Amino acid sequence: MPHVCGLRFGRFAEAMARRGHQIVLLTETFPSETAPVAPSELSEALDQHDWNDPYILACRPAGHRSAERARQGDGASAWRKLMIARYFLTDGGMFADWQAGAAPYVDALARNFAPDLVWATFGNTDSWSIARRLSQRAGCPWIADFKDNWDAFIPAGLRGHLARRFGDAAHMTVLSESHCDQADRWFDSIKTVLYSGVDALRSASGGDGRFRICMAGSAYDQHQLGGLVSGIAAWLGESTGIDAEFVYAGNDRLLVEQATEKLEGLCARKLHDFVDLGTLAELQGGADVNVYVHNDRCIFHHKALELIAAGRPIVAYPGETAETRDMAAEVGASLFVCEKPGQVADALGIVRAGTLPAPPSEGLAAFTWEARARVLESVFQRVAGEAT
């Protein structure tokens, strides 16, 4: 899926295959009409596969229409709450239809692929349920990956119960130090911080003299977006002789279009809908400054990794975590964390002065998927070794 929500495991699967490992990536079908391989055909498909790439095993969801309706917000509030509690308690997650679709492949994988270990991400707890089942059938350990906000995605009354249910994981990888702090409150397992990576290091493209301010992805909060734009407008209004352009790409185009109306007459605007990751990288790498709205519900912004690796100055509004600030400082990236519109204007003035050094490429090399995969490989080897 060409979106950040489908990025982490797909890229790690590719990187681990390049490192010589045989990887099966178990996922839901996308789009849903895709015809999956039949369980009876899996053995032959695995035998014929070129293991320089991961084998993508896509499982079509089956049944459990009530779970799908509850996820989509259909039905009365009381009914949805009842369904949420029912599926978490009985099936261990809200995607019981995906679990049902994957179930016929568990025995086939255990028999024909015989994994050394299983790694699954939250995400959703259903992937953990599938991983536990497969690890039991195959007689191998499973590792839980923790990439989302447990407190935001799991109902309050079920967090402890589900943490205990999945407490048998042999190890846990966590997306960031902040995720580790949250996971420590619920899970006793040993944890390894495993940051996601970026596709490639990008150098800034040659400019045409126009000062480009780029924003991408979710706007999150209309009020905070308005504060960020107010800072940009204030700087443009106080400056003279600047040919500037505000560029946006993402699913919140209409919201951003409305918020940036105050930039009319101050700079050009170029607003895109969702773009592919390659085009997005070009926009961010070619910007004079990348800006974004920080969302407190995101324990750690993957967006920050991408922007640091792009090598261009960054403005975050109205805050950022200490972890992201430290990461930027460690590699020499210019990150301005602004809490007021006036600070945004000041930051843009500093960027415009052109005195900020670019971060050295040696430090940014640690941000690639290849570098991150070395950390994952060491976790896999340690856990698999302990199980033998």
Please name which of 280, 338, 330, 332 lies closest in space to residue 311, comparing C-alpha atoms.
332
Between CA 150 and CA 153, with CA 152 as vertex, the angle to 5 degrees is 70
Report the SS3 class of residue 127.
Answer: helix
**Phi, psi torsion values for 205, nearest 5 degrees:** -80, 155
pLDDT score recorded for residue 202: 58
Number of domains in the chain: 2
The pLDDT tens digits for 226-265 are 999 999 999 999 988 899 999 999 999 999 999 999 999 9
pLDDT score recorded for residue 31: 76
Is residue 202 a part of any domain in this protein? Answer: no
Do 46 and 143 lie in one domain? The reply is yes
Residue 3 confidence class, pLDDT cut points 50, 70, 90 = low
**DSSP assigned state of 246:** E
Write the CATH number for 383: 3.40.50.2000
Do 126 and 220 lie in one domain? The reply is no
pLDDT-wise least confident of 5-14, 150-159, 368-377: 5-14
Tokens representing 87 are 């599926």
Do 111 and 240 lie in one domain? The reply is no
Is residue 251 a part of any domain in this protein? Answer: yes
pLDDT score recorded for residue 288: 96
The pLDDT tens digits for 190-201 are 999 999 998 866
Pairing of strands 289-293, 211-216: parallel
Containing domain of residue 286, as a range?
A: 211-366
Q: Measure Cα distances from 195 to 201, 301, 373 in Å.
A: 16, 11, 10
Determine the number of helices (DSSP H) and then strands (DSSP E) in the chain. Answer: 17, 12
pLDDT score recorded for residue 97: 96
Do 173 and 218 lie in one domain? The reply is no
Do 376 and 353 lie in one domain? The reply is no
User: How far apart are alpha carbons 182 and 338 in whole angstroms?
Assistant: 25
pLDDT-wise least confident of 10-19, 23-32, 190-199, 266-275: 23-32
Contact status, residue 252 vs residue 229, Cβ threshold 8 Å = no
Please name which of 98, 101, 64 lies closest in space to residue 83, comparing C-alpha atoms.
64
Is residue 259 a part of any domain in this protein? Answer: yes
User: Is pLDDT of 359 > 90?
Assistant: no
Is residue 205 a part of any domain in this protein? Answer: no
Cβ atoms within 10 A of the Cβ of 282, count? 15
User: Is pLDDT of 140 > 70?
Assistant: yes
Is residue 105 a part of any domain in this protein? Answer: yes
User: Is pLDDT of 46 > 80?
Assistant: yes
User: How far apart are alpha carbons 140 and 117 in whole angstroms?
Assistant: 5
User: How far apart are alpha carbons 175 and 60 in whole angstroms?
Assistant: 27
Between CA 305 and CA 136, with CA 193 as vertex, the angle to 5 degrees is 125
Does the global pTM surpass 0.85?
yes
Q: Measure Cα distances from 77 to 24, 69, 71, 152 in Å.
A: 39, 12, 12, 18
